[in-house]
Homo-oligomer: A and B are copies of this chain.
Amino acid sequence: MPLTDAQRTDIETQRAASATTRRATVPALEERLFEAVPLLDHGFLRVIDYMGDDSAIVQAARVSYGRGTRKVSEDAGLIRYLMRHRHSTPFEMCEIKFHVKLPIFVARQWIRHRMASVNEYSARYSILDREFYLPAPEQLAAQSASNRQGRAETLPPATAGRVMDMLRGDAMQCFTHYETMLNTDEDGIGLARELARMNLTLNTYTQWYWKIDLHNLMHFIALRIDPHAQYEIRVYAEAMLDILRAWVPAAAAAFEDYRVGAFTLSSGMLDALRRMLDGDAVTAENSGLSRREFTEMMAALGRTA
């Protein structure tokens, strides 16, 4: 359960308040505002604020004076055109702000996306909670032999149990010592928080406010929803895509068609494909491609390599 009662009350209080605005408003997203989507064992993602909607994309592309009277279908067509031709600036005109709770090792991947604003909970200033990510047994997988940065099959139960014991035991012991170092009781140590935090393990949870525009959000999702992304960040990307569908349905549909479900053919792949369409028997050997590239292309085309 990722939230305390006090936190739930804060969220409910905020959800209960409302105001009148002249701004572009999306009822389907308002419905979800402030609510925490639970992720992993203690994490969450919740939308704190947003700016703009599908029409705002169109309005910026046209530099118009009002919201216009075009049909929804015309707007969707323009949005598809912008997405296909990588005219990205109109998508920057929408903005969203999340509150995210996530393990530190996930936060370290996440922060590599620089085109966003972040305020992280400070362990120099405050004390972290005793919460660490412990994978579900089905997530404890062996190192992949073919993909140097991926996972293979799930560990057998007994082996998984050994891993869980180590992960849980070490995280708890490190946290207990963290508390001991911070303790300011009579015979406590009272170590500076900025030092004590270094004893925590990388699966400790942190949290931050994260604000990003729609263009950069789609770039983040596209990279992190990929099957090669680590599972523990992919679940956040999937939750974001779900929010995207509620917030900007036309942009989300174009994004899924032109990015998430797309495949880029290199110049060499285009050559090979043209030959295939001409009826040639193209093989890995005579394709002019490396075996790996040939396999990737055939997989995308639903052929056996």
Contacts and interface: CB of A to CB of B under 8 A. Distances in A.
Nearest to A188: B159
A33 B25 contact: no
Nearest to A9: B66
Contact of A105 (B21, B144, B177, B198): B198
B65 A11 contact: yes
Interface string A94-128: 01010100011101100110110111111011000
19 contacts: A17-B22, A20-B20, A21-B30, A22-B30, A49-B56, A63-B207, A84-B266, A85-B228, A93-B117, A93-B211, A104-B108, A124-B149, A163-B181, A197-B202, A198-B202, A211-B213, A262-B266, A262-B269, A263-B270
Given A20-B18, A95-B211, A209-B60, A302 B274 contact: yes
Interface residues of A, number: 138
Contacts of A303: 277
How many copies of this kind of chain does the complex include? 4
Contacts of A140: 191, 195
B264 A258 contact: yes
A130 interface: no
Interface in A1-43: 3, 6-7, 9-11, 13-15, 17-25, 27, 30, 33-34
Interface string A185-215: 0000111111101111111000111010100
Contact of A301 (B34, B200, B201, B273): B273
Contacts of A122: 149
B33 A22 contact: yes
Given A141-B192, A258-B266, A267-B261, A51 B97 contact: yes
Contacts of A7: 65-66
A171 to B, nearest CB: 8
A171 B60 CA distance: 28
Of A7, A86, A191, most buried by chain B (CB within 10 Å of CB) is A191
A92 interface: yes
B125 A118 contact: no
A69 to B, nearest CB: 9
A173 interface: yes
Contacts of A11: 65-66
A265 interface: yes
A305 to B, nearest CB: 13
Interface in A43-86: 48-52, 56, 59-61, 63-67, 80, 84-86
